[in-house]
Amino acid sequence: MPYSFKNHYLMFAHYNRWVNAKLYAAVEDLSPEQQHRDCGTYFKSIIRMINHLYVGDVLWLDRICGSKPSSYALDDVLYPNAAECIQARTALDLRLLEYIQSLEDCAFTQDIQYIRRDQVYCEPLTEILAHVFNHQSHHRGQLHGMIYQLTGISLELDLIFFQRAHADLYRIDHL
């Protein structure tokens, strides 16, 4: 099967939606007190963590889409209610997937220029998307740990489980 940046990142975008749906369903099962409890992590609570994940992705999507950058700080809590944050997250995951679907393979190697804290950066889209999906995985791991700490329940979130069940969504030989 020939390698394609588009299919590589489609896999991650589909995985992102799948794993977020599983993880956020577990968040919804928690009480509001559990969602807001300080679990001893950098962002402290589940609510703060899911808001950070949302804000981070909004900022990156604004940059890569050439939109006027949002003025959010990475620790802003836009949604103190989990259900509202999850609804926004679901829409954002779809927006990211649709963005990747809209690209031709050659677009992934193009440079994206953006400004952060008054400094201009220019990086290939492939590297930015790698960061976005890695950032999600990093904090989802923390979020999963927080859920386990509160409930004793561990979820199967590994990429390989998604790949085995959903290859038809992103593999060249299936499209």
- The pLDDT tens digits for 47-67 are 999 999 999 999 999 999 988
Looking at residue 153, its pLDDT comes to 95
Q: What three-state secondary structure class fits 125?
A: helix
| 57: its two tokens | 């992705």
Q: What is the arithmetic mean of pLDDT over 98-125?
A: 94
Distances (CA, A) of 29 to 34, 37, 60, 137: 10, 14, 29, 21
| 165: its two tokens | 């069940």
Tell me if 14 is assigned to a ligand binding site. no
154 burial via Cβ count (<10 Å: 0-12, 13-18, 19+): exposed
Q: What is the arithmetic mean of pLDDT over 112-131?
A: 94
Is the confidence at residue 1, as pLDDT, over 60?
A: no
Q: Is residue 48 within 8 Å of 75, Cβ to Cβ?
A: yes
The residue among 26 and 4 whose pLDDT is bigger is 26
Q: How far apart, in whole angstroms, are the C-alpha atoms of residue 10 and residue 130?
A: 12
Q: Is residue 74 within 8 Å of 56, Cβ to Cβ?
A: yes
Q: Which long-range contacts (CB under 8 A, 24 or more apart) does 101-105 make?
A: 101/10, 101/13, 103/6, 104/6, 105/4, 105/5, 105/6
Q: What is the arithmetic mean of pLDDT over 71-97?
A: 95
Q: Is residue 20 within 8 Å of 93, Cβ to Cβ?
A: yes
Q: Would the pTM of this model clear 0.85, i.e. be above it?
A: yes
Tell me if 166 is assigned to a ligand binding site. no
H helix and E strand count, the chain: 6, 2
Neighbours of 95 (CB within 10 A): 15
- In the chain, where the domains are located: 5-174
Q: What are phi and psi of 44, to 5 degrees?
A: 70, -70
Tell me if 174 is assigned to a ligand binding site. no
Q: What is the arithmetic mean of pLDDT over 66-84?
A: 89
Q: How far apart, in whole angstroms, are the C-alpha atoms of residue 112 and residue 109?
A: 9
Tokens 């990211």 — which residue?
96
Assigned CATH for 5-174: 1.20.120.450
